[in-house]
Amino acid sequence: LMLKKQGFSVILLIIILAVLVGGSYAVWQKQLGSEASKSGSEASKLGSEGVESWKTYKNERYGFEFKYPSQKILKESGNIVSIRNTGEPPDIFNVMVEMFEGTASEAFVRDANIYSKERPYHPVTNEGKITVDGTEGIKTQFCGSMDCYQTIYITHNHSLYKIYVDKQDQILSTFKFTK
């Protein structure tokens, strides 16, 4: 009788473990699905009107242009151009241009050193090479206390272009150098 109770207890334990593991897996899959649909809906919000109907921003001084959704807000301030949402988070795409005699790699190392001194607990990583309008650059990732964002470093005609991207690769895909 004792042996039967132990056998029953083992079977019951296995069933409980199977239910817990199966339930955890189902919850995990549901979370993955909701994150995928959320990012899909963000992309569809951005591109709902189609890139062809987007506005074109052209900067004669720094020699570049890009398209952006007409419902977004464009803001210029000195050597920085930002595309903004009307709500939170505000910035979704930034282009910063500065005069620079060097390579994109050198600019990244310079900025990473500054950033790591200011925020030693937030990593800065080089994610590899990227090509934008035929010009090779570096794709990096900077992580803060709340979020991570990507920065593209490209040097072109003695200027350093730092393009801050927040999952808006559709805008980046329209970026072109005009000189």
Splitting the chain (179 residues) into consecutive groups of 10 residues, what average pLDDT does each group show? 62 69 56 44 49 91 90 86 74 76 83 73 77 91 73 87 76 90
pLDDT, residue 158, reads: 82
* Pair 72, 83: CB distance under 8 Å: yes
Strand residue runs (E) in the chain: 55-59, 64-68, 73-77, 80-84, 91-99, 124-132, 135-143, 148-156, 159-165, 176-177
Q: Which of 116, 97, 121 is nearest to 178 (CA)?
A: 97
pTM above 0.75, yes or no: no
